[in-house]
Amino acid sequence: MLDPSDFINESIQEIKNIIGDKKAIIALSGGVDSSVASVLTSTAIGDNLIAVFVDHGLLREGESDYVNKTFNDRLNLRTINAEEEFLNRLDGVSDPEEKRKIIGELFIRVFERVAEEEGAEFLVQGTIAPDWIESDGQIKSHHNIALPHGLVLEIVEPIRELYKDEVRVIGSKMGLPDEMVNRQPYPGPGLAVRVVGILTPEKISICRKANAIVEEEVKKEGLDATLWQYFAVLTDTKVTGVKGDIRDFGYLVVLRMVESIDAMTANVPELPWSMVKTISQRITAEIPEVTHVSLSVSDKPPSTIEFA
Ligand code: XMP
């Protein structure tokens, strides 16, 4: 990569040349790639970039507030509350790939709606080098995307040549908080791929609460700096437990904490036992529907990082 300041200046100039005074939209996920692409583009074209943050009802605890707090005064941000639309369509669906497909389609539908309303002609994406090297290996090319209702947007990918560590350097240089640029990756379909089986408001809520406890304790331990991802999975297995003096029949939650460089492979490191026990105790104490917590010790391969 060029010197970070040169990269920023050259990218801003290039974005201005391509988009000029037209309008663009970007899907802001709250992850580091789309955040950095948003901030770079908005520095170039100001409020003509509309950053669209979709709350699909499958976000982590506090995520919508976090994204709004972080970006409200940096971006022309539109938060779209689409929880009902997503959860209605996902009702009764248990197959993970089916969930991903539905979520992908609904995302596109929401963006098309916003792009039409805003009169956008460009779609900015936070694509980074591993995304295209692994998939199509194509050298930079100008391309368009036709959305389902026929709207055609020209794609702009300002951080396409960068690797994750370089994206983080650019993000910091542009004033994004450390916590944001070092965030763990979070999958687009969110809790849909961390709740095994069909999604119900109750299961989503349990998974969200358990996940918040994992994140809190991992950060307390300072392991957020070294772990690649750390989260809770809600299985659809129910197991007998005993709470107080009463036998109970509740959910099994699995803790997944892995180290990785690029998510292609991952390994489960030795973890501080006191932290694992604290997480387990907190989850069963604070979430009445959970009777049992287990720790995943499987590397990738043969397992994947996500459960669904
Ligand atoms: P797996 O589970 O395949 O995950 O080992 C590898 C990395 O990709 C993330 N992941 C996703 N990200 N949409 C996303 O945006 C998805 O459908 C999806 N599935 C997995 C996962 O969190 C890990 O970082």
* 5 marked ligand binding residue: no
Ligand 1 atom closest to Cα of residue 186 = 22
pLDDT the model gives residue 138: 66
Q: What is the Å distance from ligand 1's center to 303 Cα?
A: 12
Within the chain, which residues score under 50 in pLDDT? none
* 29 marked ligand binding residue: yes
C-alpha pair distances (Å), 206 with each of 98, 100, 243, 258, 291: 22, 20, 17, 22, 12
pLDDT the model gives residue 1: 67
Q: Encode pLDDT of 191-245 as tens digits.
A: 999 999 999 999 999 999 999 999 999 999 999 999 999 999 999 999 999 988 8
Neighbours of 164 (CB within 10 A): 16
* 65 marked ligand binding residue: no
Strand partners, 63: none
Alpha-carbon distance 20 to 13, whole Å? 10
3-state DSSP call for residue 229?
A: strand
Ligand 1 atom closest to Cα of residue 29 = 15
Ligand 1, atom 12: closest residue by C-alpha: 187
Q: What is the Å distance from ligand 1's center to 93 Cα?
A: 19
Q: Encode pLDDT of 276-291 as tens digits.
A: 999 999 999 999 999 9
pLDDT the model gives residue 308: 87
Ligand 1, atom 18: closest residue by C-alpha: 187
Ligand 1, atom 16: closest residue by C-alpha: 187
Residue of 54, 258, 305 to mutate, ligand 1, most atoms within 8 A of C-beta: 305
pLDDT the model gives residue 75: 98
Neighbours of 244 (CB within 10 A): 6
pLDDT the model gives residue 262: 83
Assess whether the C-beta atom of 188 lies below 6 angstroms from ligand 1: yes
pLDDT the model gives residue 55: 97
pLDDT the model gives residue 258: 98
Q: What is the Å distance from ligand 1's center to 65 Cα?
A: 23
How many degrees, rounded to 5, is the angle at CA 180 between CA 83 and CA 142? Answer: 75
Q: Encode pLDDT of 77-97 as tens digits.
A: 999 999 999 999 999 999 999
Ligand 1, atom 6: closest residue by C-alpha: 263
Alpha-carbon distance 101 to 218, whole Å? 31
Alpha-carbon distance 282 to 266, whole Å? 26
Ligand 1 atom closest to Cα of residue 260 = 24
Alpha-carbon distance 90 to 201, whole Å? 11
* 294 marked ligand binding residue: no
pLDDT the model gives residue 218: 98
Ligand 1 atom closest to Cα of residue 300 = 5
How many degrees, rounded to 5, is the angle at CA 190 between CA 147 and CA 253? Answer: 155
Q: Which residues contact 246 (CB under 8 A, 6 or more apart)?
A: none
3-state DSSP call for residue 245?
A: coil
Q: Give ipTM to 2 decimals.
A: 0.99
> Domains plus CATH for the chain?
4-181 (3.40.50.620), 194-295 (3.30.300.10)
* 35 marked ligand binding residue: yes
Assess whether the C-beta atom of 265 lies below 6 angstroms from ligand 1: no
